[in-house]
Amino acid sequence: MSSLSELHLDALAEVFSIGAGRAALSLSEIVGDEVRISVPSVQIINSEDINSATLSLNNGRFGAVNQHFRGPFNAEAVLLFTEDQALKIVGDMMGSQMSIDELAEFEHEAMCELGNIILNACLSAMADIFSFTLESSLPDYAVASADEILHRLKENSTQPYIMVLHIDLTIEKRHTAGNLVFLLSSASLDNLVSHLDQFLGNIT
């Protein structure tokens, strides 16, 4: 595993915070109110070391938006919120008073849109700052248990490293905490570190 210093992680947090700011502006236009998104911390760990505490997973069910990115480094990205939080976010995005059952009908489409906005904003900020191009797949959304999510994150032997971004999302003063997870191969992590080193060298 390539060595990532605190400086590397701080730089990643700053890059993703720029992307989060872009995503917040886009979501503000959708919900018609102030949206704030922050990325207070970033960590990179071996996938075999991932556990429920790392992602603050409890025994409930979680909404997961999945998307693949390809470029100088390839990654599978997963945006995680509890299902209850996901439905509240959908309600905010729909801008109407609906029952839980009614909101569930729009859950897949709205969460894919949310994931697409946040994931693409974060990755486009990285691409702009590091001067490279990334291609993305269409997002997909599924609801799964904590055990199912952890099993999926651990089972991919070709992507043994996981980058975890802890996300704070506030819509209309309602605070929601989630995680943005990137599954990385050894080569992708090496390429990411190389771009970070080049970026840090240019600003020092």
Whether residue 107 is contained in a domain is answered as yes
Given a cut of 80, whether residue 131 has pLDDT beyond it is: yes
Coil, helix or strand for 47? helix
**How far is it, in rounded angstroms, from Cα 107 to Cα 86?**
8
What is the per-residue pLDDT across 156-194, written as a single tens digit (0 to 9) for each?
778 899 999 989 999 877 888 899 999 999 999 999 999
What is the per-residue pLDDT across 62-99, written as a single tens digit (0 to 9) for each?
999 999 999 888 899 999 999 888 888 888 888 767 77
Angle (nearest 5°) at CA 123 between 186 and 9: 60
Given a cut of 70, whether residue 29 has pLDDT beyond it is: yes
Q: Give percent of the chain above pLDDT 70.
A: 97
Half-sphere exposure of 160 (CA within 13 A, CB side): 9
Distances (CA, A) of 33 to 27, 29, 109: 9, 7, 20
Per the rule left: phi > 0, alpha: psi between -120 and 50, beta: everything else, 131 is: left
Whether residue 164 is contained in a domain is answered as yes
Task: Collect all residues with Cβ–Cβ distance below 8 Å to 9 and sequence separation of at least 6.
Answer: 42, 43, 44
Helix %, strand %, coil % of the chain (to 5): 50, 30, 20
Amino acid (one-letter) located at 198: Q
Q: What is the CATH number of the domain that holds 20?
A: 3.40.1550.10
- The pLDDT score that the predictor gives to residue 180 is 93
| Residue matched to tokens 């990385």 | 184
Average pLDDT for the chain: 88
Whether residue 33 is contained in a domain is answered as yes
Whether residue 120 is contained in a domain is answered as yes
Given a cut of 70, whether residue 38 has pLDDT beyond it is: yes
Task: Collect all residues with Cβ–Cβ distance below 8 Å to 139 and sequence separation of at least 6.
Answer: 65, 66, 67, 112, 115, 116, 119
pTM over cut 0.75: yes
Give the structural domain span for 152: 6-203
User: What does the pLDDT average to over 56-66?
Assistant: 87
Whether residue 25 is contained in a domain is answered as yes
- The pLDDT score that the predictor gives to residue 204 is 61
Given a cut of 70, whether residue 2 has pLDDT beyond it is: no
Whether residue 69 is contained in a domain is answered as yes
- The pLDDT score that the predictor gives to residue 96 is 65
Q: Are 15 and 121 in contact (CB under 8 A)?
A: no
Whether residue 1 is contained in a domain is answered as no
* Domain count for the chain: 1
